[in-house]
Structure 1
């Protein structure tokens, strides 16, 4: 009896998980004359890597793109999914319901699963599906229904036992590669697509798991009028037979398009009999792959003959007629109106990303945990090296060095944020291409999640280092120090976000962030006082170097209201040797302003400097937003 109850629950969960896909307005996706041209590396002349491909897949069908490596499968899939291809020129058209929908509408109704899908390693499998659902149009569904749909997908993809397991980070082991592939597909299905594109969805899976994934996709497509187009390399016989349609490519040219059940009949009509007990998919791939033929010239000629035979066949004419018929029944307007009503609001998207980033931040030690430990160690080291400096002239230079070290190296260590933001960036690119959110939501949520952590780091570092080093011992001076250190870290992290957005490579971004901080350290006023800095660096870099304002105001905070004793050589007032001559020299004292004068620093400009710092912090974020907005 319990077994029957469990079966009933599974059926109910699956029904809820798929109910949103019914009543879809997408009847078909078709394409004609698709030709992709690139510049040949050797001849530098245009070269077609996909040539005059056409086809149509209707609601409820699952289509395989198959061919040997380098035949143009992934390029064609990217064209169909309206994604960048890096090609010199793309010709032809991709139509939905026979019409040409806007890019925004197409992204809303379609999803793309990468071969190496970007997943956030610090999330569990269930959380991955949960956040994917909240970012999509399904966010408006009641929570209970979303949970039921997630449970249905977990069961269908064999992930129930891994529901609360982490995806996996470089430090914490997670689920297997094959399970990650299934999570990637499930996370796109949860977002209510009408068209699903998959690049090698069975790579990394054994034959049983491959069959299960494709079989589930076929079932969902049939029951809910979903269109599935997947590139696939070498499926087993049972997996191959699950597909409704096949597009066979070789050297970028179509060799067959139509029902899988008819493909053998087509090649038998050309006198090519399929041997008994041979996987038909392997037979077809061997047939159109001439890379390893001993007599390549004759093999290429045979391939050309097969391609011409297909182009002149009745089946090819039927495909052209079906595409033309779909175009004659165009109705894109209903798609536009339906999509416009579903898009989650900007505040809702920001809150979802903020929630996801918060979960990641306290689980993934790379994001802030390691940085907090690193800054704490730096504070202990600084406090014990510059320990209990007295208010004497012999401490003035060490105090100045400590101020530079505390501000500049805190900024420099922001390079540790590069790998954490790179993961966010890769996730953003995937989700932006799928139309889930834009650069605005990423930049806002990234800034909001980082701010409290950076403030915590500033306080922890200051509590340890400030009092150990014996900087000006007043509460006002301490909190002023914390404030400037906080602004320093905000600007440094903004610089990391900007450079990593420009150059999303770990090695390159790390090198450039380190170089930029090295430049700022050189011209911030410590190495060479602003009064001596050469004109080029002073006017080109110094005034928009955020470290300049931090160092200057920390110096003013320490020296403007403090007095230091001079070295005494005898009992009389003339027996003093003061390294800085101020109005207190006859008292064997040095007024701190005398130290500031050699740098040209004067108090009273903190409000202006705070405004400049805020402009730099916001400017970095806006610049990163522009980069991400323009990135294709």
Structure 2
């Protein structure tokens, strides 16, 4: 077994990289990962007794605990690659997430000791750690080169120049065999892009860019053919040659891949049933009476045992088999693991650990600039989509035709003002609601890696939306304003345009706040519909004589202040209208305008600016809350 293992590693080392030599230098810090008696439980709602009864209400409110991990221990040293094996639901992904410092959520309890160089998890360590999730969370419209270059610009230290960071991204592409597809977009469910194997290598490349001391991977070979899977694992094996620590979960690896691992931890229902060298696994189980009856892939054999299927027992004995293996681990391996952990701790304490600096890799401004550039490139297809432009243009032309040259008809002009106001409240709100929920997975992934500050992301995302948020309303207002026969004086047009653009920004902030606070587009859009309907009804156009007990609602609505300013841009106290065939009356006596009034215009403008700030502050706080849950 030992000779087979060494031959396999020698073979893959010769195949990986350029001549088997990694382009990556030794990491700044070598990390020894140690975990002792890790237990993880979650609280779940107990299933109520649907038959009812006097205790039904009590049982319905009870909660129960479910144990996901039970007393798992082990250690991974620099230069080692360990695989977490086990059937679905065995807890291997949960363990990997816990070891990567990403398992802090309400309603869950993690106990035991997890240390890195005999120290607890820290943000400084997190920046020297790579974590590849099972699902490839990537921007679909960026190319492979764009994805890696922007990651390098954000995650590599500011001491490196832009050219050096780009060169590192190029080296990663070469190492992972991505040069041929460097200019292909990533793609997604509805967009054709690179293959699944190439997408997985891009995800790994993003973490390899920082030259990590320790690398975690969740199912890096999932959905890949055996050749591509072996190539990826061999590349990861090459990373350990420079002293990196690599831990991964993997499902049914081939025998060739299995012998690449230095260590294997096998889980069954959250319990460890084997921990040790990969080459010693089958020998261990043979000594306790579970020898394979025919030559078989050792990984398949181990997974059969973890599922409770032994070579000479029937399907009905699965539970007994698992219990026997759990007991055997406690008898034969547990003390050895404890002794190994003791030796690891003793050896590490003999050396003086270096301190990692707890600071951001790049400045706030650099993060903002890179995120803005990346966001504009990713979303230009959406912002400048023909569908959105066509929607706005068609609505503007229709409004212009329906109110064509309506000047002189006060009712029609006021109706046109309120129509444009309503459209440019609803349109930005329902566009903005989807902003943060759609990027939640990406934001969670990148923030967990501490790629950038939340404030730099928020400001870059907001600034990146401004061009289209301001350009489309400008085009729309220009079309409808002049076709509808509104006040033809240029100053009035620009004042009206300014009020509309301010309203758009406030509406967008309202949509961003709802999306960030709920992170559920269905709930957010439903609530937005109800609130905006209240805004429009209280805006002063539909109802002028509002009962006193509910009239206060107009003072918290966006539409009331915006409508007041719109009217002020089109009419003045000196204007008159034809109130009877022979008499002209002051415009301030017109019912709708009289209800709105020409007074307190400065206060209305201040109210809109305050809403602009408060809504965006609420959106930012909502994003902070989301980050706190991960």
TM class by shorter chain equals 0.7 to 0.9
Displacement of 1:475: 0.9
CA deviation map 1:425-459 (0-9, x unaligned): 32111111111123211211112212232221221
Task: Show the counterpart of 1:376.
Answer: 393
Distance in 1, matches of 2:349 and 2:517, equals 40
Residue from 39, 54, 57 that aligns with 1:35: 39
CA deviation map 1:330-361 (0-9, x unaligned): 599956x4333662121111111111112123
Task: Show the counterpart of 1:512.
Answer: 527
SS, match of residue 45 in structure 1: strand
SS, match of residue 38 in structure 2: strand
Distance in 2, matches of 1:37 and 1:226, equals 30
Matches within 5 A, 1:184-333: 184-222=203-241, 224-290=242-308, 298-313=317-332, 315-328=333-346, 329=348
SS, match of residue 18 in structure 1: coil
Matches within 5 A, 1:405-554: 405-414=419-428, 415-529=430-544, 531-532=545-546, 535-536=549-550, 538-539=551-552, 541-554=553-566
SS, match of residue 89 in structure 1: strand
Distance in 2, matches of 1:148 and 1:466, equals 52
Q: Structure 1 pair 630/372, CA: closer, same or farther in 2 (3 Å)?
A: same
For the aligned residue pairs, the C-alpha RMSD in angstroms reads 2.8
Task: Show the counterpart of 1:351.
Answer: 369
Distance in 2, matches of 1:528 and 1:62, equals 71
Displacement of 1:125: 0.7
Q: Does residue 87 of structure 2 align to residue 68 of structure 1?
A: yes
Displacement of 1:605: 3.1
SS, match of residue 95 in structure 1: strand
Q: Structure 1 pair 64/78, CA: closer, same or farther in 2 (3 Å)?
A: same
Determine if contact 1:13/1:149 at 8 Å carries over to the other structure.
no
- Structure 1 unaligned segments of length 5 or more: list them: 1-6, 568-575, 578-586
Determine if contact 1:438/1:629 at 8 Å carries over to the other structure.
no
Q: Does residue 555 of structure 2 align to residue 560 of structure 1?
A: no
Q: Structure 1 pair 132/275, CA: closer, same or farther in 2 (3 Å)?
A: farther
More deviation in 507-516 or 89-98?
507-516
TM-score, structure 2 normalization: 0.87
Displacement of 1:272: 1.4
Distance in 2, matches of 1:172 and 1:612, equals 43
SS, match of residue 235 in structure 1: coil
Distance in 1, matches of 2:411 and 2:489, equals 20
Determine if contact 1:196/1:227 at 8 Å carries over to the other structure.
yes
Residue from 616, 624, 631 that aligns with 2:619: 624
Distance in 1, matches of 2:448 and 2:351, equals 21
More deviation in 91-100 or 155-164?
155-164
Residue from 194, 216, 219 that aligns with 1:175: 194
Displacement of 1:604: 5.0
Determine if contact 1:101/1:332 at 8 Å carries over to the other structure.
no
- Structure 2 unaligned segments of length 5 or more: list them: 1-13, 48-62
Determine if contact 1:29/1:96 at 8 Å carries over to the other structure.
yes
Distance in 2, matches of 1:13 and 1:544, equals 67
Determine if contact 2:290/2:310 at 8 Å carries over to the other structure.
no
Distance in 1, matches of 2:572 and 2:21, equals 71
Displacement of 1:303: 0.8
Displacement of 1:11: 4.8
SS, match of residue 449 in structure 1: helix
TM-score, structure 1 normalization: 0.87
CA deviation map 1:469-493 (0-9, x unaligned): 1111111111111111111111122
